[in-house]
Structure 1
Amino acid sequence: MILYINKDLDNISESGEIKMEIYFMIVSFIMGVVFGSFYNVCIFRIPEKLSIINPPSHCYNCNSRLKPLDLVPILSWIMLKGRCRYCGEKISYRYVLIEFLTGILFLLVFNKYGYNIQTIYYLIFISMLIIITFIDIDHYIIPDCLIIFGSIVAILANILGQGIGIKNSLSGALICGGSMLILTSLIEFIVKKEVMGGGDIKLFAMTGLFLGIRGGLLTMLLSIYVGAFYGIIVIVNSRLKKQEYNSMIPYGPFISIGALMVVLCGTNIISWYTGLF
């Protein structure tokens, strides 16, 4: 009798834990979607040196101020069939893509690190990466203001003992940013042309601040693999279509992908690699 009661209590406990886990997964995804909507504003306005607060959200075609019903992430775009309610101008699907992507990444980070300060630490880092990635895709630049903000957050968090430790953080920035600066300077001296922008080097340094020496170096390695894979696809596709391909490719997205892989599964990657020897 007692045995059955204990089993029932265990089942109830497990059921409660599963429900709470599902609840937190939904909440983390919704949080990410909401923040993703704000990141869309940042991606559009920061390169134009506009305020991310004023003026309020509006249609850039007819200048109509958007109402709350027009600003519900993902759902508003679906309900309005991807067009402005007031002038009918088409709204890019990329807004929804960024909102959904941010929601998924928030969900993955919460699922891996739980609900604690360290999770916030990595969410801020990932948020910077999302904004930087799409700005770099659009404008081939990485704004200094984003690097500075992210670096300050990383340094303060690590000083307060909420990240990876200030010594590891500063060493990661120095090694990742410094080594990439030396390497690119050497290559550019040989080939007599720019091979990597200063913004990319600064992004490597910021990544080192957030991820430390091991995480930063792994990011460098993974970004090279991702960039090479993308480059091969572009070259092959261009030759099949007999078209000229653009050799100017923003490198920020590759750094971001590498850093995301480190945040979400860096320990597993390092364990797998060291296990080969």
Structure 2
Amino acid sequence: MSPEVVGAGILGLLVGSFLNVVAHRVPLGESVVRPASRCPGCRTEIRRRDNIPVLSWVLLRGRCRVCSSPISVRYPLVELATALLFAGIAALVGLTWALPAYLYLAGIAVPLALIDLQVRRLPDQIVLPSYAVALVLLTVASAGTGDWAALLRALVGGVSLFALYALIFVVKPGGMGLGDVKLAGVLGLYLAWWGWDALAVGGFLAFLIGGLIAVGLILFTSAGRRSKMPFGPAMLAGAFLALIVAAPVGDWYLGLTGLST
């Protein structure tokens, strides 16, 4: 395993601990900086030695050191998931100029998915600043590689995917939320910077994954066809999957059409 993958995984553990705070506090309108993390039972501030990602939860057996109140297993699972996502991104992107940009995307994906699943909302506090951050990081990546065409492609892709989702939002009211439209623009930037094939595949996979989830919920839960279902996680999953499969899928399609070289 390469050093950048290991390093990204360790960084993911640390970032995941903070993302737990973000996912919990942002929907409540609370600051993610103050106060420090506290036990949900006795409200005692968690000591630094008890705030080591995953390890502290295991050593404390999932309970507060002071009052023994249970601490949800969600916390270490989010930390582990973030570590795996960061490591996967590092393995895919490599130690390149683009790595910080895609690690940032992974970092916002975790709380956005959690919040959308929990409260059916994609907060502007996370999505809107991501436009500026993504543009800065992708510009740095293009400057570092000299691939300015990728940045232009990202701008076109961001506008295009935003426009597509906005059209669906207008034509089919209730089909998706305005937060989905805003997130589409961010994902369009990242997917198109990666390549036109990633943009096309990522856009398609979002609806495919969303449809499969909806069918599963209707078949195995009490959800009905008119039930409001979070689409953000499907959009994010489709985007990350597209980064992996877009190139082979694109080659396969071109082979079918006889356009491949």
Assess same fold via TM > 0.5: yes
* Aligned-partner SS, 2:256: coil
Contact 1:172 1:216 in 2 (8 A): yes
Equivalent residues of 1:177, 1:201 under 8 A apart: yes
Larger Rg: 1
Query: 1:257 pairs with 213, 228, 237, which one?
Result: 237
Q: CA deviation at 1:264?
A: 3.1
Q: How many residues align?
A: 248
Identity %: 27
User: Where do residues 77-156 of structure 1 align in structure 2 (5 Å cutoff)?
Assistant: 77-156=57-136
Partners in 2 of 1:93 and 1:66 — Cα distance?
Answer: 16
Given candidates 32, 56, 64, the residue that maps to 1:76 is 56
TM-score (norm 1): 0.83
After superposition, the C-alpha distances for 1:27-49 in whole angstroms (9 at most, x for unaligned) are 32211111111111111111112
Asked if structure 2 preserves the Cα contact closer than 8 Å seen for 1:159 and 1:165, the reply is no
Q: Which residue does 2:169 correspond to in 1? A: 184
Question: Is 2:12 the counterpart of 1:32?
Answer: yes
Counterpart CA distance in 1 for 2:96 and 2:138 is 15
In structure 2, distance between residues paired with 1:258 and 1:149 = 22
Matched, 1:170 2:155: yes
Amino acid aligned to 1:132: L
Correspondent of 1:205 among 185, 190, 194: 185
Aligned letter for 2:84?
I
Report whether the alignment pairs 1:227 with 2:207.
no
Sort the Cα spacing of 1:267 and 1:82 in 2 relative to 1 into closer, same or farther, 3 A: same
Q: Deviations over 1:201-258 (max 9, x none)?
A: 11111111222254333222101111111122222223xxxx4548211110000100
Q: Letter of the 1:61 partner, please give it.
A: G
After TM superposition, the runs of 4+ consecutive aligned structure 1 residues lying more than 6 A away are none
Deviation at 1:165, TM superposition (A): 3.2
2:27 match: secondary structure? coil
Aligned partners of 2:33 and 2:229: how far apart in 1?
Answer: 31
Inter-CA distance 122–23: structure 2 relative to 1 (3 Å threshold) = closer
| Contact 1:61–1:89 (8 Å) recurs in 2 | yes
Question: Within 1, Cα distance between the matches of 2:84 and 2:237?
Answer: 14
Report the residue type matching 1:179 in the other structure. Answer: L
Q: 1:196 maps to what in 2?
A: 176
**What TM-score do you get using the length of structure 2 for normalisation?**
0.88
Distance 1:260 1:276, change over 3 A: same
- Asked whether the 8 Å contact 1:109–1:264 carries over to 2, the reply is no
Contact 1:29 1:103 in 2 (8 A): yes
Q: Secondary structure of 1:138's match?
A: helix
Give 3-state SS (helix, strand or coil) of 1:275's partner: helix
Q: Work out whether residues 62 and 87 of structure 1, in 8 Å CA contact, stay in contact via their aligned partners in 2.
A: yes
In structure 1, what is the Cα distance between the partners aligned to 2:39 and 2:216? Answer: 36
The answer to whether the Cα contact below 8 Å between 2:128 and 2:182 also exists between their aligned partners in 1 is no
Residues 169-223 of structure 1 show CA distances to partners (whole Å, capped at 9, x for unaligned) of: 22111110101211231123xxxxx111000011111111222254333222101
Counterpart residue identity of residue 200, structure 2: L
Q: Secondary structure at the match of 1:104?
A: helix
Across the aligned residues of Structure 1 and Structure 2, the Cα RMSD in angstroms comes to: 2.0
Q: Does the C-alpha gap of structure 1 residues 114 and 180 become closer, same or farther in structure 2, counting only changes over 3 Å?
A: same
Cα offset, 1:23, TM superposition: 4.4
- Rate the CA distance shift 1:95–1:37 in 2: closer, same or farther, 3 A: same
Supply the AA of the counterpart residue of 2:169: T
Return the letter of the residue paired with 2:211. A
User: CA shift at 1:273, angstroms?
Assistant: 3.4
Gaps of 5+ in 1: 1-20, 189-193
Aligned residue identity for 1:230: I
Match among 181, 199, 206 for residue 216 of structure 1:
199
